Amino acid sequence: MEVKEKISYLEKMSKQIRRDIVQMIGPNNKGHIGGSCSMAEIISVLFFDEMNVRPVDPEWEGRDRFLFSKGHAALAQYAALAELGFFSKDEFKHLKTLGAMLQGHPETRTPGVEANTGSLGQGLSIACGMAASLKIDKKPNRIFCVMGDGEQAEGQLWEAAMSAANFSLDNLYAFIDKNRVQATGFVNDRYKTDPLDKKWEAFGWFVQEIDGHSVKEILAAVDRAKRETGRPKLIIADTIKGKGLSFAENKAAFHNGLMTEKEYTQALQELA
Ligand SMILES: Cc1ncc(C[n+]2csc(CCOP(=O)(O)OP(=O)(O)O)c2C)c(N)n1
C-alpha cells in the first residue's frame, strides 16, 4: 500500500474505532469514553498496520503482544479486535454484563487480550516479563504497551521502567497517552507527573514525543523506534481526552461518562 493510502486507511479506521466505542456504550450508560477515544489513532496504527496478529488464531506463537496498562480504556482495543474479526460485533451488545466476553477492563476471556489489567501501574510489569521471556527464547515477537499520563503516579511503573532498561528490552515499545486529564480533573491539578520525557530518558529509555492524533507521526515514531537497539522505547503521544466528540473533549466528566440520547446522536453525527 502507498504511504498516502495507508495513512488515509488508518485515519478512517481511527474514526471507526471511535464510532464502535460510542455504539458499544450507547446512550444513558456509563463508559470510559474519554481515555478510549484519545488513543484511537495509536490503536489504529498498532492493530491495523504494525502488529503481527492472526484473528483466527489469537494464541499464535508468532504474534506480537499488546498490553493495556491503562486497562479502563479497553473499549478501544475491543473495537480493533472486532474490526479484525477476533470476535463478532454482536458481543458489543453484551458489554459489561455478567459472564459476557467483553468486560469493563481487559480480561483474558476475550480473544486477543493477553492479560487482565485495569489496576493501574501493572501492565508495564507484565509487558516486561513477556519481553524478557521472548528475548531469552531468542524470539522476534515484540511487545506493545499503552499507559496513561495520570497512571504515571503509580510507583510500580518506575520499577518496571528501570528493569526494562536493565535487561535491555529493545523488543518493548511503550506509549503514554498524554491527554492531560485523569479521572477527576487535570493531571497537573491532581498529581503532577511531568516532565515525563526527562524521567523516562533518565531511566534509560529511548524517548520520542509526537502528536498522538497524527497517524503519520505515529507511523514515523514506530519506524524510528524499530531502528533503535539495546534499550526499551517510549513514545509520548500528545492527545486530547474524548477526541472526536466535541461535548466530551478535555472533560474529566467523560472519563467514565454518560451520553444522553442527544449527545449519543450528536457523537455519531460528528464521527460520520
Ligand atoms: C491502582 C488504581 N488506582 C485507581 C484506579 C482508578 N482509576 C481508573 S482510571 C484512573 C485515571 C487514569 O488516568 P490516566 O492514566 O491519565 O488515564 P486516561 O486519562 O488516559 O483515561 C483512575 C485513578 C485504578 N484503576 N487503579
The DSSP string of 96-116 is TSTT-S--SS--TTSTT--S-
Residue type, 55: P
Q: Which atom of ligand 1 is nearest to the CA of 73?
A: 21
- Per DSSP, the three-state class of 260 is coil
Predicted confidence at residue 154, as pLDDT, reads: 98
Q: What is residue 181's DSSP assignment?
A: B
Rounded to whole angstroms, the Cα distance separating 79 from 102 reads: 11
Centre of ligand 1 to C-alpha 117, Å, is 11
Cα–ligand 1 centroid distance for 182 (angstroms)? 6
Give the pLDDT score at 111.
Answer: 98
Locate 69 and state its grid cell. Answer: 496498562
Q: Cell for 74?
A: 479497553
Tens-level pLDDT at each residue, the chain (272 residues): 799 999 999 999 999 999 999 999 999 999 999 999 999 999 999 999 999 999 999 999 999 999 999 999 999 999 999 999 999 999 999 999 999 999 999 999 999 999 999 999 999 999 999 999 999 999 999 999 999 999 999 999 999 999 999 999 999 999 999 999 999 999 999 999 999 999 999 999 999 999 999 999 999 999 999 999 999 999 999 999 999 999 999 999 999 999 999 999 999 999 99
**Amino acid identity, residue 4?**
K
List the grid coordinates of 27. Answer: 446512550
| Spans of all domains in the chain | 3-270
Q: Does any ligand 1 atom lie closer than 6 A to the CB of residue 177?
A: yes
3-270 placed in CATH 3.40.50.970: yes
> Ligand 1 pocket, 257 CB below 6 A?
no
Q: What is the pLDDT of residue 1?
A: 78
The whole-angstrom distance between residue 223's C-alpha and the CA centroid of its chain comes to: 18
C-alpha span between 15 and 168 (Å, rounded) = 36
Which H or E run includes 45? helix 40-45
Q: What is the distance between the alpha carbons of residues 271 and 238, in angstroms, rounded to a whole number?
A: 21
How confident is the model at residue 26, as a pLDDT?
98
Confirm or reject: Cβ of 182 under 6 Å from ligand 1: yes
Atom of ligand 1 nearest to the CA of 255: 21
